[in-house]
Amino acid sequence: MDPLHQFHIKPLISVIVADLDVSFSNSALSMITSVIIIYALMMLGMRRRSMVPGRWQSLAEIFYEFITKMVDDNAGRAARPFFPFIFTLFMFILVGNLLGMLPWAFTFTSHIVVTFAMAIFVFTMATLLALIKHGFRFFTFFLPHGVPLWLAPLLVPIEIVSYLSRPISLSVRLFANMMAGHTMLKVFAGFTVMMGAGLGALGYAAGIVPVIINIALIGFEIMVATLQAYVFAILTCLYIRDALELH
């Protein structure tokens, strides 16, 4: 009945490396499954390398062209070297989110540790990229163009805070969406059980209402799962463009 029970990480195979507990958990199982699914999709789809693509090949090509277009549109053509990274990021989050929609599956993106690790990686990468590419000029990023200089003491701290909050908002957005969605599903499912336990037969009859709401919510959650993967990828593109172009 605990709506947060689904987020518990249970070790399946105990692994301890250098005094750190890195057991193969249900979260790790989900991650590895996602990797296998993505790789299978890309490889099995492209197995025949046909000129006229079949169903699976079309899917693989659609993903490829979708991310290519996203990177070109939002990060510019100069960001082409980051295409494999953004592709991996998008597919990993997308499949992870969708995998979590299956019953009994674990959603690894519902853990702040995972999303924050990915967000901080993106943030560090973008910042280092900007520093390498622009050197000291990177710090002009915090003073927007066309702003009177006397506003700088006010604006620069705001910009710095806004910049530093990027990994937090990026990670919390994904994590909160996934966690809230799954908790909500569990809470509504719990209503059915509570009604059945509290009101007997009448309760079970009335319990159909939360089930119907849950069906609609599952559709909504699948949309959110896709959308959040898209948002994560597109914001990564935008951060990379900021790093490449500074404004």
Partner 1 sequence: MVAQMTAKPDHRGPSRCYGRTVPAGWVPALTLTLTLIAGRALAGEGGGGLPQLDPATVPTQLFWLAVSFLVLYYMLFGVALPRVESVLQERDSRIAFDVVKADELRAEADAVLAAAERLRDQARSQGQELVARTGRVGLASNRLLMAELDVQLMARIKDAEARILAAKLTALAQIDEVAAEAARELAARLAGVRVDDATMAALVGQVARDGFLGRVPGAGAPQRSRPRSAAEAAG
Partner 2 sequence: MDAETARIVAVALTVIGTNLKYVGAGAAAIGLAGAGAGIGNLFASHVASVARNPAVEQKIFPITMLGFALTEAAGLFALLVAFLILFT
Q: Is 110 in the site for partner 2 (CB under 8 A)?
A: no
Q: How far is the CB of 218 from partner 2 (least distance, A)?
A: 17
Asked if 224 interacts with partner 2 (CB under 8 A), we say: yes
Q: Which of residues 11-50 bind partner 1 (CB under 8 A)?
A: 11, 15, 17, 20-25, 27-28, 31-32, 34-35, 38-39, 42-43, 46, 49
**Straight-line distance from the first to the last Cα atom of the chain, in angstroms, rounded to the nearest whole number:** 49
Q: Which residues of 9-44 are buried (b: 16+ CB within 10 A; e: fewer)?
A: eeeeeeeeeeeeeeeebbbbbbbebbeeebeebbee
Can you read off the two tokens belonging to residue 136?
């000291």
Q: Any idea of the CA torsion for 21, 22, 28, 31, to the nearest 10 degrees? A: 140
- Identify each DSSP E strand in the chain by its residue range: 11-13, 16-17, 20-21, 24-25
Helix (H/G/I), strand (E/B), else coil: 159: helix
Q: Residue 180 binds which one of partner 1, partner 2, none, with CB within 5 to 8 A depending on kind?
A: partner 2
Residues 180-239 within binding reach of partner 1 (CB under 8 A): none
Residue from 4, 147, 211, 216 that binds partner 1 (CB under 8 A)?
4
> How many angstroms separate the CA atoms of 21 and 104, rounded?
24
- Report, in Å, the least distance between residue 85 CB and partner 2: 20
1 binds partner 2, rule: CB under 8 A: no
* Cβ nearer to partner 2, comparing 85 with 230: 230
Residues that bind partner 2 (CB under 8 A): 4, 169, 172-173, 176-177, 179-180, 183, 224, 227-228, 230-231, 234
